[in-house]
Amino acid sequence: MLEVDNLHVSYGAIKALHGVSLKVPQGSIVTLIGANGAGKSTTLRALSGLVKAASGSIRYAGEEITNLPAHKIVSRSLCHVPEGRMVFANLTVKENLAMGAYLQRDKAWIAKQTDYVFRLFPRLKERENQAAGTMSGGEQQMLAIGRALLSNPKFLMLDEPSLGIAPLLVKSIFERIVEINREQGLTILLVEQNANLALDVSSYGYVLETGKILLEGPSAELKANPKVQEAYLGA
């Protein structure tokens, strides 16, 4: 569904990505793991049109989308849940979800999908009229994922969903990510520092180090790899 070939990204004179290539099959969960500053978030930002690729190719559902504006990429059902959640702090939960649906015109679908999000994350239903900025980090992460689901995505990119969240809620959020993949058939590209969790829920993984793909393979094989264990799994 997504094919990235030899992607290079620079911030001014600083090269952030050095020829990243990866594939994400339709219906799968693929993870991108690596240390802070490895280029994981930059990869997602390039895929969603938030930063420009210096060179290389990004193909989504057979179409070249390299350097398309972000709003045009979203309209192709590719959605990015950014690091730090980025909820609209002064808007209520319900208003945040409505913002996610700004490209949708089918009111019946919007109502049905909102109900689905509330079933997926009951805590959001309890707080539907609460300002998003007053909620915990975990609740805001649920809201950021829920808002993305209101855009009717076929491909979901999640950037560090466990960041700054209580361990109990992290487990719950990852269970919901697997549920979304199974129930809605969403293809998911997951960027995550918690490599153990990421490799548990994904079928295939890439290890990114200083802007380059260092290793790739089935998640179970990466989890058993001594180098990965030493560097990322605390073994």
Q: What is the pLDDT of residues 136-168, one digit of tens each?
A: 888 999 999 999 999 999 999 999 988 888 888
Distance CA 232, CA 141 (A): 23
Round the average pLDDT of the chain to a whole number and report it: 92
Predicted pLDDT at 166: 83
Q: Which residues contact 104 (CB under 8 A, 6 or more apart)?
A: 110, 150, 151, 152
pLDDT tens column, 179-192: 999 988 999 999 98
Query: Which candidate, 90, 156, 143, places its Cα nearest to that of 117?
Result: 143
Domains of the chain: which residue ranges?
2-232
**In this predicted model, what pLDDT tens digit does every residue of 64-92 receive, in sequence order?**
999 999 999 999 999 999 887 789 999 99
- Residue 163: the pLDDT is 85
The total of other beta-carbon atoms located within 10 Å of residue 229's CB is: 15
Arch. (CATH architecture) of 2-232 = 3-Layer(aba) Sandwich (3.40)
Per-residue model confidence as pLDDT tens digits over 16-31: 999 999 999 999 999 9
Any idea of the CA torsion for 213, 179, 167, 80, to the nearest 10 degrees?
50
Q: What is the DSSP pairing of strand 187-191 with strand 14-24?
A: unpaired
Cβ-based burial of 164 (10 A; exposed 0-12, middle 13-18, buried ≥19): middle
Q: When comparing pLDDT for 5 and 231, which is higher?
A: 5
The proportion of the chain whose per-residue pLDDT surpasses 90, expressed as a percent, equals: 77
Confidence class for position 235, pLDDT limits 50, 70, 90:
low
pLDDT bracket for residue 171 (50, 70, 90):
confident
Q: Which residue has the higher pLDDT, 176 or 28?
A: 28
Statement: residue 234 has pLDDT above 70: no
Q: What is the pLDDT of residue 168?
A: 82
